[in-house]
Amino acid sequence: MKKPEKIIYQRDDADLRRQSLKAKGLVQQFNTIPAHDLSAQETLLRKLLGQVGPGIHIEHNFHCDLGHNITVGKNFYAGYNCVIVDIAKVTIGDDCMLGPNVGIYTAGHALEPVDRNKSGYALPIAIGNNVWIGGNAVILPGVAIGDNAVVAAGSVVTKDVASNTVVAGNPAKFLKRVEED
């Protein structure tokens, strides 16, 4: 698999700040839409996110940085308090589910303390089709998760996850294969 391209960004970049403020406004609007108004929620998500398949549902208290770097396929569900740090691209396939409090983070920072708060890096994240990510799981920069994979609740995914596998733990490790029908 080809290593994803690292994006270097400056926190004080005017264009990045403009994009972030636009997304924050749309996120704020989304989180105030009444729970029963699914049509208004979907309409706003289509404005916010880069690409949205049919059947999207994201629970309240959703947050993202830019929005336009997020692509989701059909029948996507995200539980409460989902956070997607999308400085780099986040691609999520069809029929995926995220439990509550899932964090998907494309951004990171230098280990060295000098100027750590002024710049950072981002690596894209790719999540395949039919993936289930359990509550409180964290997906870190540059990770790819294969089709039909399951990430157990509370896991911290630091490396790619193969298709048709279950991973668990911190850091997430192979637990078993997913049995297909």
* Arithmetic mean of pLDDT, 60-88: 98
* Arithmetic mean of pLDDT, 96-118: 93
The domains of the chain, with CATH numbers, are 7-177 (2.160.10.10)
Catalytic-labelled residue, pool 57, 60, 63, 109: 109
In this prediction, residue 111 has a pLDDT band, given cuts at 50, 70 and 90, of confident
Question: What span, in angstroms and rounded, lies between the C-alpha atoms of 175 and 181?
Answer: 19
Look at residue 80 and tell me whether its pLDDT is greater than 80.
yes
Look at residue 145 and tell me whether its pLDDT is greater than 90.
yes
pLDDT score recorded for residue 44: 98
- Tokens in use for 46? 């289509």
- If one counts every other C-beta atom within 10 angstroms of the C-beta of residue 3, the result is 7
pTM of the model: 0.95
Residue 107 main-chain phi, psi, to 5 deg: -100, 150
Question: What span, in angstroms and rounded, lies between the C-alpha atoms of 160 and 152?
Answer: 14
Q: What is the DSSP letter of 148?
A: T
Contact assessment for residue 139 and residue 145, using Cβ atoms and an 8 Å cutoff: yes
109 has catalytic annotation: yes
Q: Of the given ranges (5-9, 53-57, 162-166), which has the lowest mean pLDDT?
A: 5-9
Look at residue 142 and tell me whether its pLDDT is greater than 90.
yes
In the three-class reduction of DSSP (H, G, I as helix; E, B as strand; rest coil), residue 42 is classed as helix
